[in-house]
Amino acid sequence: MNRWNRWFKSFRHYLEYLLFMLCMALSKALGLKQCESVANRIGDFFYDGLKVRRSIVERNLKGTFTDKSPEDIQTLAREIYRRQALHVIEVLRLPLIKSSKDASELLDIDGAEFLEKTKHAGKGGVIVSAHYGNWELLGLCTGLMVTPMNIVVKHLGNPHIDRWITATRTRHGNSVIYQERALRQGVQILSEGGILTVLGDQTDPTGSFKTDFLGRRSAVFLGPAFFALKARVPLFLGMCRRQENSRYIVEYQEIGTSDFSFCREDIEELTRRYTKAIGEYIYRFPEEWFWLHNRWKIPDQE
């Protein structure tokens, strides 16, 4: 990359960051009800006007809900765009959460069983989650209201926004581990009694392992299962969804590992178990999942 291209890229990143900070300031000035109203308008604009990834979303929905009519697919797709717009606004408002009391006003969470099986038993634990509901709120509030954790993340394309989101994620005791270092650091953290959180609904670009996900063959990462069985710690599914009263609820579900040992076959079977559990949540509340991702892009997945 020549000097001009580097300068232009750096300048573009800075402008994006300024726009990001402006949006954050506007979002923080809104009331909760105003956030929902603004999110609905933004979602409709991206769905009807800009049509950003609309074909991908509708294709994903049609492949999953084969019994739904085109009208039902469009209605659901519109709600997905509205919900994702709301999640973005809520992420921009995360700096307003300064204490567990602030978090409890937004979210219901009961981590008693999780703590009993992990921290109180002198063990680490793996939480596998998904791009479902407000996953950033899940991480921040779990760290505040239950226990600090180590979150496996990727670098964002814009370094300024990446630094902001990292600072936000770690403001109240959580730590982040970048994906390229997760293998080495993750096992060590678990062996020392730490909590490791991984999003388990992402596409493995290598396609080395495929299983059923939402009715189709999908390439998935084995990471969460690998960590849990390697360190011999419990694995929990943690999902955050929006309720009718506009509050979020975090639900933890232990995925059994007692019948497994640390071998490739059992790692794959445990991956099937939590992938199925994630899929069941998505079937129940499809508007919560991030359908804008081209999830079935690996050849021969379907």
Model pLDDT for residues 219-262, shown as the tens digit of each residue: 999 999 999 999 999 999 999 999 999 999 999 999 999 999 99
Is residue 275 within 8 A of residue 268, CB to CB? The reply is no
Which residues, other chains included, contact 3 with Cβ-Cβ below 8 Å and sequence gap of 6+?
none
- Sign, CA torsion 252/261/226/117: positive
DSSP codes joined into one string, 72-136: HHHHHHHHHHHHHHHHHHHHHTGGG--SHHHHHTTEEE--HHHHHHTGGGT--EEEEE-SBS-HH
User: What DSSP line would sit under 244-272, residue for residue?
Assistant: TTS-EEEEEEEEP-TT--SSHHHHHHHHH
Over residues 87-116, the mean pLDDT reads: 95
Helices (H) and strands (E) in the chain — how many of each?
A: 11, 9
**What pTM does this model have?**
0.93
186 pLDDT exceeds 80? yes
According to the model, what pLDDT value does residue 5 have? 87
Distance of alpha carbon 2 from alpha carbon 45, whole angstroms: 37
- 69 pLDDT band (50/70/90 cuts)? very high
pLDDT surpassing 70 at residue 180: yes
Q: Which residues lie across from 152 on neighbouring strands?
A: 177
Mean pLDDT of the chain: 95
Measured CA to CA, the distance from residue 71 to residue 166 in angstroms comes to: 40
Residue 1's pLDDT band (cuts 50, 70, 90): low
CB atoms within 10 A of CB 258: 5
List residues bridging with 254 in a β-sheet: 236
pLDDT of residue 22: 97
Mention every residue, 6+ apart, whose C-beta is less than 8 A from residue 23.
Answer: 92
Tokens of 251: 């639900």
Under 8 Å between Cβ of 122 and 115: no
Percentage of the residues of the chain whose pLDDT score is greater than 70: 98
pLDDT band, very low/low/confident/very high, at 36 (cuts 50, 70, 90): very high
Q: In this predicted structure, what is the pLDDT of residue 207?
A: 84
- Helix (H), strand (E) at residue 219: strand 216-219
pLDDT above 80 for 3: yes
pLDDT in the model for residue 301? 45
pLDDT tens readout for residues 126-170: 999 999 999 999 999 999 999 999 999 999 999 999 999 999 999
Label the pairing between strands 235-242 and 248-255. Answer: antiparallel
Contact 18, 160 (CB under 8 A): no
Q: What is the pLDDT of residue 302?
A: 46
Element (H, E) at 225: helix 223-231
Dihedral angle over CA of 277, 278, 280, 283, nearest 10: -170
Residue 299 banded pLDDT, cuts 50, 70, 90: low
Q: What is the pLDDT of residue 205?
A: 86
| Distance of alpha carbon 235 from alpha carbon 125, whole angstroms | 6
pLDDT in tens, 266-294: 999 999 999 999 999 999 999 999 999 98
d(CA 269, CA 273): 6
